[in-house]
Each structure stands twice: as C-alpha cells, then as structure tokens.
Structure 1
Amino acid sequence: MDHRLLTKIISTVGEEVGNLNPRLALAQLLLKPLPPFVGSRLRMFGLRLAGFEIGHGTQFWGMPIITGTGAITSRLHIGKHCLFNIDCIFDLVDTITIKDHVVVGHQALIITGSHVIGPATARAGALKPAPVVLEQGVWLGARVTILPGVTVGAGAVIGAGTVVARDVPANTLIAGSHRRVLD
C-alpha cells in the first residue's frame, strides 16, 4: 500500500473518531436497550460513570442523546431530584446547567450552539456557542426547544412544543410559538 494513502487513511480515521468519548459510548451501548421507564437510575449511574455531574435522585426514563465535541462531560451539570423523559437531546457546544427539581418532558431539546449569519453564499457562519441555565423547579413540556443563551427562571413552566429564544422570568408560564419575520 502506498505510504501517502496509508497516512491519509490514518488521518481520516483520526478525524472521524477524535471526539469519541469511550466511557459515554460504553454507557450508551449498555443502557440503550433498556425500554423506556425501566432502569431510570441505571441510566443516571451510567452517565455519572461516563463523567457527567448528576445530582442524587435524578432519573432518566430514556437514554438522552448527547452531542458536542471535546470535553463534553465538563459542560453538563444536573442537580438533585431531576426527571428526564424519553428522547431528550443535550447539545453540549457550551454549558448546560440544570438546577434541582427540574422536570424535562418527552423529546425536549436544549441547544447551546448556533452560528453567526454569514454572507448570502453561506448563511451558517462561524460557530456561536452560548450556555443554557434551567433554574430550580423548572418544568419543560414535551418537545420544548431551548435555544442558546437562554436562562429559564426558577419555577417557570414551558408548555409543550414551545421554542424559547430569550430568558424566561421566574414563576411564569409560557406556551406557543409566535412567528414573525425578523429584519
């Protein structure tokens, strides 16, 4: 085999698996087969073994989808007695902080990475990370999307399907989606 081809193959494989977190991959492999609502504390334990900071009494009714590159285990902080329903997605481009007693519904999506708007030829410009914080006692309904840079105040409730693009004051209820053209 040509030396240049072998070097190219090794380089390509390194690029493709360079962000693999072996401990997380093992936890996902072992725990993914569990059906929803079975083994919720086992999932929490597996995620802790993978290196994530998760408080006592927290439960995962399904294995979350976790994305991001680099040291993702240092970017997720989950408090005590939280509850996560099935198919939650955590985008760990930046930090997600979830305080105590937070409940997250089915297929909720927490995103910490976006892009600056580029020129017309390539609108998704440079990566623009921003942290997300869910304060104590927050409840996110099913399929809620939290966008980068948002803080949801303590005791706030976000109705199912809501897209949250700016901070939510404490002890408020928000729901729905208001679409408008932005300049």
Structure 2
Amino acid sequence: MTDAHQEEVLGRIAKGLVYTESEAAFLAPRRRAEQIFEYNRTPPGQEDRRRSLLVEILGSVGERTVLLPPFHAGFGSNVHIGDDFFGNVNLTFVDDVDIHIGDGVMIAPSVTLTTTGHPVHPSRRADFGRFSEPIVIEDKVWIGSNVVVLPGVRVGYGSVIGAGSVVSRTIPPMTVALGAPCRVVRPITDEDLTTRGAL
C-alpha cells in the first residue's frame, strides 16, 4: 500500500467512515498482543513488572494506575489513561482509534469500551468492514459492572454509569445514567455527600 493510500485510509478512519480489515492492515505493528498476554500472566507480587508492561502497552498512562488482569485490547497503544485509575478484571478496550480516560476514573468488572462498530447492511461488512470513533471518559467517572460504551461516546466529569448499561450517546457531567439504552436519571448533588446515594 502506498503512503498516499495509507493517508486516505487514515482520513476515512478519522471521519468515522467505513474501512476494511485489509485497508487497515498497515496499522498492525501498533498492536501490543504479546505484551498484553504477558501482563495478564504476571504474578500479583510483580507490581514493577506490571507497571513497565503497562507503559509499553498503552499510548500513555498516569501515576498510581491499577489495571487488574486479565484485560483485553485490540491495540492497547490507542488507550490513554490518567492518574489514579482503577480498572477491575475483564476490562476490554476495542481501541481501533483513541480511548481517553481521565484522572480518578473507576471501572468495575467486565466493562467493554468499543470505538468500533459495523455497518448494518451485510454487503458493507465484507472484509470486516467497520467504522471507528473515539471514546472519552472524563475525570472522576465511575462505570458499573457489565457496561458497554459504544463508539463516539463522551462520559462527562463525575458521572456514574449504572451496571449493565449500554451507553450509545454522550452523558453530561455530574449525572447518574443507566439502562439500555443508557439515559440520565438524575443529577449528582450535594445531598449525595451525606448519603450512600441511590441510582
């Protein structure tokens, strides 16, 4: 594939347009499959080794980051995580394009963040036709167990996503949202400082 063709494909990806597996094959060297495999088999006591592998795998990673194995990623190199992050087991990043996670974010078990979807018409899915849009999780967000965040979503500062939700649209800051599809059910207010808080 020529440089010009690669640029054309990258341009389509950046615009959220359909592209195929063959067209995107030149991006394969950015995949960190071997390092992810090793990370997921590193003994719990080898925190320094886990940290060094995480630095190799991710596009960027902040301080005091905890990512419990196993985790999974299509690339790994398109994931950017801030400080004081906690990711529980079975976190999946479908990171064909960037996933940006802010500071102080907590993610519960078995969450999927997928930047990529596929066209509805089967003829457009030939050669694994797909489209990709970045995901942004802002600072201090809490995402409950078994949540799926879909392409192009932004979850606003401080928000809580209830367990089992399917997030297909942007969630504003300081709100509680849940359901499939995920919808805002209430704001987060100062009253939540004095209670456990109810979803």
Same fold? TM cut 0.5? yes
Quote how far apart the aligned CAs of 1:52 are. 2.9
1:124-143 aligned at under 5 Å gives the runs 124=125, 126-143=129-146
CA deviation map 1:111-162 (0-9, x unaligned): 00112332xx536474211000000000001111000000000000001110
Kindly, what percent of the aligned residue pairs are identical?
28
Quote how far apart the aligned CAs of 1:62 are. 1.5
- Stretch deviating more after TM superposition (108-117 or 81-90): 108-117
Task: Structure 1 unaligned segments of length 5 or more: list them.
Answer: 1-15
CA distance in 2, matches of 1:128, 1:105: 27
CA distance in 2, matches of 1:140, 1:38: 27
**Of residues 27, 34, 38 in structure 1, which corresponds to 2:35?**
27
SS of match in other structure, 1:97 = strand
Query: Is this contact kept in 1: 2:141–2:158, CA < 8 A?
Result: yes
Is structure 2 residue 71 aligned with structure 1 residue 64? yes
Quote how far apart the aligned CAs of 1:61 are. 1.6
CA deviation map 1:160-179 (0-9, x unaligned): 11000000010111122259
Query: Is this contact kept in 2: 1:82–1:101, CA < 8 A?
Result: yes
| Equivalenced residues, count | 156
In the alignment, what sits opposite 1:108? Answer: 111
Q: Which residue identity is paired with 1:101?
A: G
SS of match in other structure, 1:116 = coil
Q: Which residue identity is paired with 2:123?
A: A
Select the structure with the greater relative contact order (CA < 8 A; seq sep ≥ 6). 2
CA deviation map 1:1-28 (0-9, x unaligned): xxxxxxxxxxxxxxx9x83668x34433
Query: Is this contact kept in 2: 1:76–1:92, CA < 8 A?
Result: yes
Rg larger in 1 or in 2? 1
CA distance in 1, matches of 2:178, 2:45: 30
Task: Structure 2 unaligned segments of length 5 or more: list them.
Answer: 1-24, 183-199
SS of match in other structure, 1:160 = coil
**Of residues 160, 163, 174 in structure 2, which corresponds to 1:157?**
160
Quote how far apart the aligned CAs of 1:41 are. 6.1
TM-score (norm 1): 0.73
Query: Is this contact kept in 1: 2:165–2:181, CA < 8 A?
Result: no
SS of match in other structure, 2:36 = helix
TM-score (norm 2): 0.68
CA distance in 2, matches of 1:31, 1:178: 33
Q: Which residue identity is paired with 1:115?
A: H
How much is the aligned-residue C-alpha RMSD, in angstroms?
2.7
CA distance in 2, matches of 1:109, 1:85: 11
Quote how far apart the aligned CAs of 1:108 are. 0.5
CA distance in 1, matches of 2:70, 2:49: 10
